Amino acid sequence: MSKKFTPTPHDAIFKQFLSEKKTAKDFFEIWLPDEIKSLCDLDSLKVKSGSFVDTEMKNYQSDILYSVNTKQGQGYIYLLIEHQSTPDKLMAWRLMRYSMAAMQKHLEAGHKELPLIFPILFYCGEKSPYPYSTDWLDCFSGRDIAEKIYTKPFKLVDVTTLDDGEIMQRVD
């Protein structure tokens, strides 16, 4: 009998370890900020598929994705954990991408509102401390303008509120 080679055995152990509800609940009790923890009914933890396929049909996958009910009744919060043993300068973007993919999957399941996704990076690499920012806006070369673009309402050009004369005046 040959042994199956796992290129990242620590990743497999991590997934197995945190796939157990009691272990995951203990992990979140310790590591979730109080503000987020106060929203979560951790007894309702469920492991979800963290596999996503983008529009080019490329498969990408978060390590572990959980859903929890909110303490306020109906609603969902997802807790996403990514295990990483090597630093990645764009890790914050990757976690944002996984978060957006989980939101899309939630909408495709028939829900009408976006869920909250709380990403956590579980880092166990040799380089200490983790050398890169965990703020996805720091992944941009122009962080200041990125912050203005991606944390504010988008620009709306609503021509339905203009009469034809106003539209013609604006086109020169």
pLDDT category of residue 48 using cuts at 50, 70 and 90: confident
Q: State the average pLDDT over residues 140-150.
A: 96
Which residue ranges form the domains of the chain, and what is each CATH number?
9-132 (3.40.1350)
Q: What does the pLDDT read at residue 168?
A: 73
**In the predicted model, is pLDDT for residue 124 greater than 70?**
yes
Q: State the average pLDDT over residues 149-160.
A: 93
The pLDDT tens digits of the residues spanning 50-76 come to 554 455 535 445 578 888 998 886 677
Determine phi and psi for 78, rounding to 5 degrees: -110, 140
Rounded CA gap, 31 and 34, in Å? Answer: 9
- The share of the chain scoring above pLDDT 70, in percent, equals 80
Radius of gyration of the chain (CA): 21
Rounded CA gap, 66 and 44, in Å? Answer: 10
